[in-house]
Amino acid sequence: MARPKGDAAATAARREAILDAALQVFAVAGFNGSSLKQVAEIVGITEAGILHHFKNKGTLLLEVLKRREELGRPVVKTGQSNGIQEVLEWIAIQKENSTLPGIIELFTILSAEATAANHPAHDYFRERYNKVTRNFTGMFELLKQANFLATDESPEDLGASLVALSDGLQLQWLLNPEVDMPKLHIQFFRTVLNDAGWAALQARLG
């Protein structure tokens, strides 16, 4: 019943199907709470069939995470900006995320589970957390230089608070999908920006 050997397109499609199924499964119950069998059943092959495409369960998880990261936009980049552009991009990501429950589930559940030092995605989430925090800090540095901040909190603290707010809202949203994540993010910026900053943001929010 083996499929054509050199059919690169078909092989890639099968790999994608496995990654899709794994995302679905890991997102619901995390890594420890899921089995290869659940993934295999969705795809319609055997557990061993999955391990033909992926070395083991742990690397399957890492590839699921990696693929979704590539799909996401480059989180927030520090450039020659007053920071407003980066704020808008982040709010846009929030809006997009609200339409993709599976991805939020995946990252929220796994970032908590991966707190354990021996978790296969532990290093991945440490790096991700550092990267996001650095990006946010850079964003608030830009806003500060543009004199857009209403608070004298440090960019580091503001960055940490925004990461916390995002993570926490996602967790809430899993229990109660009525939580309006983009709205609460905007309200956060409203309390943190001064009149000039808020005006600059509003002008581009439409």
* Of 108, 135, 137, 144, the one binding a copy of itself by CB under 8 A: 108
Structure tokens at 152: 């004298």
Q: CA-to-CA distance for 167 and 1, rounded, in angstroms?
A: 45
Residue 4 interacts with DNA (CB under 7 A): yes or no:
yes
Q: Provide the CA 8 distance to its chain's centre, in angstroms.
A: 29
**Site map for a copy of itself, 47-76, x if CB under 8 A?**
------------------------------
111 contact, one of DNA, a copy of itself, none, CB 5-8 Å limit per kind: a copy of itself
Structure tokens at 195: 């009149």
- Which region among 48-56, 66-74, 140-148, 154-162 touches a copy of itself (by CB under 8 A)? 154-162
DSSP characters over 105-160: HHHHHHHHHTTSTTSTTHHHHHHHHHHHHHHHHHHHHHHHHTT-BSS---HHHHHH
102 contact, one of a copy of itself, DNA, none, CB 5-8 Å limit per kind: none
* Of 28, 45, 163, 184, the one binding DNA by CB under 7 A: 45
* Of 30, 34, 185, 200, the one binding DNA by CB under 7 A: 34
- The 3 state secondary structure assigned to 135-149 is HHHHHHHHHHHCCCE
30 φ/ψ sector (left φ>0, alpha ψ -120 to 50, else beta) = left
What is the smallest separation between the CB atom of 114 and DNA, expressed in angstroms?
A: 16
User: 185 by DSSP, 3-state: which?
Assistant: helix
Residue 101 interacts with a copy of itself (CB under 8 A): yes or no:
no
Residue 187 interacts with a copy of itself (CB under 8 A): yes or no:
yes
Q: Provide the CA 109 distance to its chain's centre, in angstroms.
A: 11
What is the smallest separation between the CB atom of 96 and a copy of itself, expressed in angstroms?
A: 19
User: 110 by DSSP, 3-state: which?
Assistant: helix
Residues of this chain that bind a copy of itself (CB under 8 A): 28-30, 32-33, 105, 108-109, 111-113, 115-116, 119, 125-126, 129, 150-151, 153, 157, 160-161, 163-169, 171-172, 174-176, 179, 183-184, 187-188, 190-192
